Structure 1
Amino acid sequence: MDFVADESLDFRIIRSLRQHGHQVFAIVEESPSIDDASVLEVAVSRKSILITEDKDFGELTFRLKKTHFGILLLKLSGLEITEKIDLVLSVVKNQHQALFNSFAVLDQNRLRIKTGKK
Structure 2
Amino acid sequence: MSKPNIVIDESVDYAIVSELRANDFTIYAVIDETPSISDEKVLNIAINKNALLITEDKDFGELVFRFQFFHKGILLVRMVNAKSLEKARTVLKVMNEHYEELIDNFSVLDDSKLRIRK
Asked if TM exceeds 0.5, the reply is yes
State the shift of 1:113 in Å. Answer: 0.4
2:116 to 94, 109, 113: 113
- 1:76-105 deviation line (CA, Å, top 9, x unaligned): 112111210121011001001101000000
Query: What is the correspondence of 1:1-118 to structure 2 with a 5 Å cutoff?
Result: 1-115=4-118
**Structure 2 residues not aligned, in runs of 5+:** none
Instruction: Report the AA paired with residue 26 of structure 1.
Output: A
- With the length of structure 1 as denominator, give the TM-score of the two structures: 0.95
Q: In 1, are the aligned partners of 2:7 and 2:46 still within 8 Å (CA)?
A: yes
Runs (4+) of structure 1 exceeding 2 A deviation are none
SS of 2:21's partner is: helix
C-alpha contact (below 8 Å) 2:46/2:53 kept by paired residues: yes
Q: 1:22 & 1:52 partners in 2: Cα distance? A: 16
Task: State the aligned residue count.
Answer: 115
User: Which amino acid in the other structure matches residue 39 of structure 2?
Assistant: D
Aligned residue identity for 1:100: I
Aligned to 1:104, what secondary structure does the other structure show? strand
CA distance in 2, matches of 1:30, 1:73: 20
Q: Percent identity?
A: 42
User: Which runs of 5 or more residues in structure 1 are unaligned?
Assistant: none
Normalised to the residue count of structure 2, the TM-score between the two structures is: 0.95
Q: How large is the RMSD of aligned CA atoms in angstroms? A: 0.7
Amino acid at match of 2:104: N
